[in-house]
Amino acid sequence: MFNFDWMIGQEYDFYGVDNHKFKLGIGNSTIVLEAIEDAEDHYRSYLKTVKSVQEENDIFYKKPFAKVKIVKIDEPDFDGYLLIDKNNHVWLRVGTEDHNTYYPTFIFGYTPFESLT
């Protein structure tokens, strides 16, 4: 059975996101992962899990464009994961924001790198 937490702390090639899916690679292997929302009601939602899924009609880059490390965050305002590069750019933030409050929110936030040129 797949356990996303086994991937924490490792460095991966990053191929981008499509909806709530993202693609990572190591060596000649790639994996597509999907963040699953656990919607409690119309006002509250949580990150239920991150699972491995088959790549179907997803749109990802053919070649990786960044090297990222998966970091686990457990703070009062955010519980989840960051995909962060060596320059501390956060490419993806996935988890539950405000998880200790009455209105937690599922987050899947992709932030492309902005060129300074």
pLDDT recorded at residue 102: 72
pLDDT(35) > 60 = yes
Residue 116 within a domain: no
Residue 117 within a domain: no
Closest CA to 86 of 68, 110, 64, 109: 68
pLDDT recorded at residue 105: 87
- Domain coverage including residue 29: 4-110
- In tens, the pLDDT along 39-97 reads 766 667 888 989 999 988 899 999 999 999 999 999 888 999 999 999 999 999 999 99
Residue 74 within a domain: yes
